[in-house]
Structure 1
Amino acid sequence: MHQPTPPHGRPVEVTRATKRRVVITGLGAITPLGVGVPDLWNGLVEGRSGVRPLEGAEFDGQPVRIAGTVPEDPAGLLPRPQARRMSRASQFAVIASREAWRDAGFAASGTVESGIDPSRVGVSVGTIIGGAPVLVDGDRRLRDKGPRGVSPLTAPMTVPSQPAAQIAIDLRVTGEARTVVSACASGTEAIGQAIDRIRDGHLDLVLAGGTEAAITPSVMASFAAMRALSTRNDEPERASRPFAKDRDGFVHGEGAGLLVLEAEEHALARGAHIYCEAAGWGLSADAHHLAAPDPSGDGIVLALRRALADSGSVPGDVVHVSAHATATVDGDLAEATAVRRILDERGAPSPEVPVTAVKGNLGHLQGAAGAVAAVVAALTLDRGHIPPTIGCDDPDDACGLDVVRHVPRPLPPAGDVVLCNSFGFGGHNAVLALRRDRSDRAEEGEAA
């Protein structure tokens, strides 16, 4: 349904009562567990890790030499002329967006062949550093070969907006191409902005998510100098330990997650499979420290409350929490404190709400972290079971959460909202509220 446009060219105001429901109809991912959503989901359910030793002389002598790396070169998955004009982060984004686009039931070649008005489609991508490896390569070429050795593509390939632009070019999307940069909350905030653009009537469909490819020597050295990284170089697959007593820092990672968000009536009209509803989202700022979380959890609580309110939900509706849980000592504790405060408002007696954290398997994908977690949460709602958190063999009692461990767990029948948390350096807090699809059409399908 297109929003009517008056003669003066400005959209008609959409009131809260007329806001459209937004649903998720397509999923795409490229992660340390492999290329594609099946590799991601199966790896999580089976409890596998994508954290590996870092190879290459440039990492020799680094205090931390492990990371969650994508096991296949993304450049080899794209036509060579196209790949060479993209940063690694853009390559990830395009590969994941193509999968999400196809999964939503559209023609692989883009909007026009899919019979969709490209001006009613948008792109919203979160990232942090964008083309960091391009800058590293450009600096190396400048030192070795002088100014003439630096590619003219270095500058355009470096800017953080390139992944969104490359998706728009690849699928011929003309509605808009947005970029969100808000530290590790970037991917989640990009999805939240897409929800607003659709339900307010500006667009019918948005490819939204996050991408990151910043495993470079200087970035690794910087995180290590902050003492933010796990130093378990000898056991990479067990290094990331969300909510565990012996957690000692996060594991750096890379990858991308993209989702197709769509107006419900648009999805129904074309008979699309609906994974879940993208019901709402919330933002807040800690205003506390450049890198450390506010130990009170107040900022996180505010973002959680806003996500619930925006989705028309209350704490009693929460059936599952997909935690940010980077495996840093202070970060996990601050998040756990905030989550408990919200869940305690459900009243007693109430069953425990299961919590999971995908960073045990993947490491911390930075700007892509929240988007990949949203892909997993949508699958959790659609398939009805929660992947386990690996690395949490001995849970920290101070966190006080019901962490799903060892084996998948069925999604509890009571409640219908999953909260997906993302928090970034500087106090950026973003939370998505996804809702189980319990409409009449779903119930009729189950009855049949």
Structure 2
Amino acid sequence: MNFGVSKLKPILRALESRNYRLFFTGQAISLIGTWMTQIATIWLVYQLTDSALLLGIVGFSSQILNFVIAPFGGILVDRWNRHRILIGTQALSMLQSLLLAFLALTGTIAIWHIILLSLFQGLINAVDSPARQAFVMEIIDKKENLGNAIALNSSVFNGARLVGPAIAGLLIASVGAGVCFLIDGLSYIAVIAGLLAMKLKSRTITPHQGNVWQRLKEGFNYAFGFPPIRAILLLLALFSFMGMPYTVLVPIFATKILHGDAQTLGFLMAAVGVGALMGGIYLSSRQSVVGLGKIIAFSPAGLGMALIIFSQSRLLWLSLLMMLIVGCASILQIASSNTILQTIVEEDKRGRLMSFYTMAFLGVLPFGNLASGALASRIGAPNTVMIGGLFCILGSMIFAQQLPNLRRLIRPIYHKIGLISKSYS
């Protein structure tokens, strides 16, 4: 027993911080509801419309404001109290889910309701996501545990992806999508309670000169003027645009290709969660950020190959296996990128850089969703997913070629903050 605890302790070391434990626990509960709502939404849209294009439009509407508003959200995160921002965004997210529940349970829901409420949630996320990413640094006691905290965040996010879709599939088949929305709305109580219970030190916010546009330009020049940050963000944007839109097309695979139902959809998304949880546990067990560059370079290729095989599969077991690999590769890419960016960023620019991270990951996704929905309506979902996989492999190859030069540029930063010695090569 003691041996097992000693093995787990390095993986869970960020949980030594009380505030992070509260955040982690609240998220673990709330995110199950979030994934239930995501599955219920795409299933409900498909049932209402039987349209791949409208699946893409709803996916687009849920994320487009991340692209437009997130950079301004990053400015707010650098200048305002991040703790209070998160309490506000979580309360608004609760309201959004409860409105969906009311409309679905009363039988009055229409596609325009879903699109409008998806836009509202996207607006919330444009501020919530950079605030959430930047807030992690404030709630861990030891800065060297930052990478572990980010990996644990990813693990709980994808552990919820494992549980949420499976529960959603059963509930949709038995009592309908409205109950999923209701459970999601109530689950926000956990994360809000955790935030309110925190005891935080006051954060010194450095006053800045200049207007919003100057601050935005400063953040943009900082992010895209340094090649390692630029390369990571561009690869993440490609990964999001070409690789991630499979999520809005999964209902088509579940029903028309694998000849299943809502439970099949739940199983496919749960398989993604299993793979992502495996990837998150691996990253949590790592002791240092050093070496994550290789993971960033090759994860998109793994995802791309899995998507290609998934697109051509007509066997449920093979499709589930490929979704597991997709989930693992996704979390390796997303969490490793987040960890390196948060490690090398200057503190007064953290919120803005995390907003560009959000923009590259979540902000680009709606364009991919819309393009995939439109393309799938013309050439079919399998061919659309296969093309996305091929582009992910290409992006991986380009980044891998740049990796030696990127390492050379990051090495002085790692040395400055004590991650490596001068003799490290």
Question: Could you say whether these structures have the same fold, taking a TM-score greater than 0.5 normalized by the shorter chain as the test?
Answer: no
TM-score by length of structure 1 reads 0.31
TM-score by length of structure 2 reads 0.32
Which gives a bigger RCO, structure 1 or 2 (Cα 8 Å, sep 6+)?
2
